[in-house]
Structure 1
Amino acid sequence: MLDRITYEVLRSALYATAREMKVAMMRTAASPIIHAGGDVSAAIFDAEMRLVAQGNDIPTMLGSAVISTRESVLAVGRDNLRPGDVIISNDVYLGGGNHQPDIQLTRPVFLDGEIIAFVMTRGHWTDIGGKSPGSFTPDTWDIFGEGVRIPPVFIYRNDEPVADIMSMIVHNTRNPDACTLDILAQYAGTFCGDRRLQQLARKYGAAALGETMAEALLYSERRMRAQIEAIPDGVYTGSDYIEPVGDAELIPIKVKITVEGDSICFDYTGTAPQVRGGVNCPLSVTCNSTWFAVKAITDLSIPINQGCYEPVKIIAPEGSLVNCVYPASVVSGNTETSPRIIDLLLRTLSSALPDRVIAQSNCAACCGIFSGDDPDLDRRKAMRRTYVSTIDVHAGGMGARPDKDGVSAIRVLVGNAGAQPVELIEHNSPLTIEEWTLVPDTGGAGRWRGGCAARRTYRVGFEQATCTVIAERGRVAPKGLFSGLAGATFNSSIERRNGETKTLRAKSEQEIIARGDRVRIQPAGGGGYGDPLERPAQDVWSDVLDGYVSAESAERDYGVIVSAGRLDPGATEALRHQLRAHRGG
Structure 2
Amino acid sequence: MTVAREFDPVKLSVLANAFDGIVREMTNGLLRSARSSVINTARDFSCAVLTADNQLLAAAEGVPVHVFGAGPLGEDMVELHDDIREGDAFLHNDPYRGNSHAADHCILVPIFVEGRHVFTAVTKAHQADCGNSLPTTFYATARDVYEEGALIFPCVRVQRDYTDIDDIVRMCRSRIRVPDQWYGDYLASVGASRIAERRIHELAEKFGVDDLVDFVDAWFDYSERLAASAIATLPEYELHGWTAHDPFPGTGPDGVPLQATIKVKPAQGSISIDLRDNPDNLPNGLNLTRATATGAALAGILSGIPENLPSNAGTFRRIEVLLRDGCAVGVPKHPFSCSSGTTNLADRIVNLVQAAFSQIGDGYGTAEGAAGQAPAKSVISGTDERNGNAYVNQILVGGVGGPATPYVDGWPTYQRPVCGALLYHDSVEVDEQRYPILIRERMLVTDSGGAGRLRGGLATRVTIEPRVDAVTLTYGIEGKLNPPKGVRGGQGGAVPDAWVEDIDTGRRREIPIVGRYDLRRGEKIVSITPGGGGYGDPLQRDVAAVLDDLRECRISSQAALTDYGVVIADGGVDQEATVKTRRERLTAR
SS at match of 2:343: helix
How far 1:364 moved relative to its partner? 4.0
- 1:128-185 per-position Cα deviation (integer Å, ceiling 9, x unaligned): 1213213223121112333221221011111100111111023211100000011100
Note closer, same or farther for the CA distance 1:300–1:535 as it changes in structure 2 (3 Å cut). closer
SS at match of 2:11: helix
How do 1:479-518 residues align onto structure 2 when only pairs under 5 Å count?
A: 479-497=485-503, 499-504=506-511, 506=513, 508-518=514-524
Alignment-mate amino acid for residue 327 of structure 1: P
Q: 2:391 aligns with which of 376, 381, 387?
A: 387
Q: 1:255 aligns with which of 260, 284, 290?
A: 260
**Contact kept in structure 2, 1:30 and 1:181, CA below 8 Å:** yes
- 1:106-142 per-position Cα deviation (integer Å, ceiling 9, x unaligned): 0111123221211111111111121321322312111
Alignment correspondent of 1:228 = 231
Q: 1:31 aligns with which of 32, 36, 43?
A: 36
- Normalising by the residue count of structure 1, what TM-score does the alignment of the two structures yield? 0.93
Alignment correspondent of 2:8 = 3
Note closer, same or farther for the CA distance 1:580–1:301 as it changes in structure 2 (3 Å cut). closer
Alignment correspondent of 2:102 = 100
Distance in 2 (CA, whole Å) between partners of 1:140 and 1:539 is 46
How far 1:349 moved relative to its partner? 1.9
- 1:254-309 per-position Cα deviation (integer Å, ceiling 9, x unaligned): 11112222122111233122222222211211111111223223465432211111
Note closer, same or farther for the CA distance 1:82–1:556 as it changes in structure 2 (3 Å cut). same
Alignment correspondent of 1:196 = 199
Superposition misfits of 4+ residues, deviation over 6 angstroms: none
Distance in 1 (CA, whole Å) between partners of 2:247 and 2:151 is 24
How far 1:470 moved relative to its partner? 2.6
How do 1:432-581 residues align onto structure 2 when only pairs under 5 Å count?
A: 432-497=438-503, 499-504=506-511, 506=513, 508-562=514-568, 565-569=571-575, 571-581=577-587
Q: 1:374 aligns with which of 370, 384, 407?
A: 384
Alignment-mate amino acid for residue 112 of structure 2: F
- 1:397-417 per-position Cα deviation (integer Å, ceiling 9, x unaligned): 112221332222322532121
- Report whether the alignment pairs 1:345 with 2:350: no
**Contact kept in structure 1, 2:408 and 2:454, CA below 8 Å:** yes
How do 1:64-75 residues align onto structure 2 when only pairs under 5 Å count?
A: 64-75=69-80
Alignment correspondent of 2:245 = 242
Alignment correspondent of 1:21 = 26
Alignment correspondent of 2:157 = 154
Q: 2:429 aligns with which of 414, 423, 426?
A: 423
SS at match of 1:70: helix
Alignment-mate amino acid for residue 464 of structure 2: Y
**Contact kept in structure 1, 2:37 and 2:393, CA below 8 Å:** no
Structure 1 gaps, min length 5: none
- Report whether the alignment pairs 1:283 with 2:283: no
Note closer, same or farther for the CA distance 1:106–1:242 as it changes in structure 2 (3 Å cut). same
Note closer, same or farther for the CA distance 1:144–1:484 as it changes in structure 2 (3 Å cut). same
Note closer, same or farther for the CA distance 1:481–1:249 as it changes in structure 2 (3 Å cut). same
Alignment correspondent of 1:327 = 335
Note closer, same or farther for the CA distance 1:298–1:579 as it changes in structure 2 (3 Å cut). closer
SS at match of 1:392: coil
- Report whether the alignment pairs 1:46 with 2:40: no
How far 1:368 moved relative to its partner? 1.4
Q: 1:185 aligns with which of 188, 196, 211?
A: 188
- 1:48-86 per-position Cα deviation (integer Å, ceiling 9, x unaligned): 1211111212111111212222123322x2x31121100
SS at match of 2:74: helix
SS at match of 2:90: strand
**Contact kept in structure 1, 2:473 and 2:517, CA below 8 Å:** yes
Alignment correspondent of 2:87 = 84
Aligned CA-pair RMSD: 2.1
- Normalising by the residue count of structure 2, what TM-score does the alignment of the two structures yield? 0.92
How far 1:425 moved relative to its partner? 0.5
Note closer, same or farther for the CA distance 1:10–1:452 as it changes in structure 2 (3 Å cut). same
**Contact kept in structure 1, 2:380 and 2:395, CA below 8 Å:** yes
- Report whether the alignment pairs 1:582 with 2:588: yes
Distance in 2 (CA, whole Å) between partners of 1:70 and 1:486 is 41
**Contact kept in structure 2, 1:372 and 1:389, CA below 8 Å:** no
Alignment-mate amino acid for residue 400 of structure 1: A
Distance in 1 (CA, whole Å) between partners of 2:561 and 2:366 is 25
**Contact kept in structure 2, 1:396 and 1:525, CA below 8 Å:** yes
Note closer, same or farther for the CA distance 1:516–1:186 as it changes in structure 2 (3 Å cut). same
**Contact kept in structure 2, 1:491 and 1:523, CA below 8 Å:** yes
Distance in 2 (CA, whole Å) between partners of 1:81 and 1:505 is 49
Note closer, same or farther for the CA distance 1:542–1:172 as it changes in structure 2 (3 Å cut). same
Note closer, same or farther for the CA distance 1:13–1:512 as it changes in structure 2 (3 Å cut). same
Alignment correspondent of 2:324 = 317
Distance in 1 (CA, whole Å) between partners of 2:351 and 2:390 is 42
Q: Number of residue pairs matched? A: 573
**Contact kept in structure 2, 1:269 and 1:315, CA below 8 Å:** yes
**Contact kept in structure 2, 1:447 and 1:532, CA below 8 Å:** yes
SS at match of 1:427: helix
Alignment-mate amino acid for residue 107 of structure 2: L
- 1:218-268 per-position Cα deviation (integer Å, ceiling 9, x unaligned): 111111112122221132222211224247322111111122221221112
Alignment correspondent of 2:3 = none
Distance in 1 (CA, whole Å) between partners of 2:185 and 2:408 is 39
- 1:302-332 per-position Cα deviation (integer Å, ceiling 9, x unaligned): 3221111112222222222211322222232
Alignment-mate amino acid for residue 114 of structure 2: D
How far 1:539 moved relative to its partner? 3.0
Distance in 2 (CA, whole Å) between partners of 1:250 and 1:265 is 26
Q: 2:365 aligns with which of 357, 360, 368?
A: 357
**Contact kept in structure 1, 2:104 and 2:126, CA below 8 Å:** yes
How far 1:36 moved relative to its partner? 1.6
Per mean C-alpha deviation after superposition, the further-off stretch among 489-498 and 565-574 is: 565-574
- 1:1-20 per-position Cα deviation (integer Å, ceiling 9, x unaligned): 65333333222211111111
Distance in 2 (CA, whole Å) between partners of 1:405 and 1:186 is 35
Note closer, same or farther for the CA distance 1:574–1:277 as it changes in structure 2 (3 Å cut). same
Alignment-mate amino acid for residue 129 of structure 1: G
Structure 2 gaps, min length 5: 1-5
Note closer, same or farther for the CA distance 1:394–1:327 as it changes in structure 2 (3 Å cut). farther
Note closer, same or farther for the CA distance 1:10–1:560 as it changes in structure 2 (3 Å cut). closer
How far 1:363 moved relative to its partner? 3.0
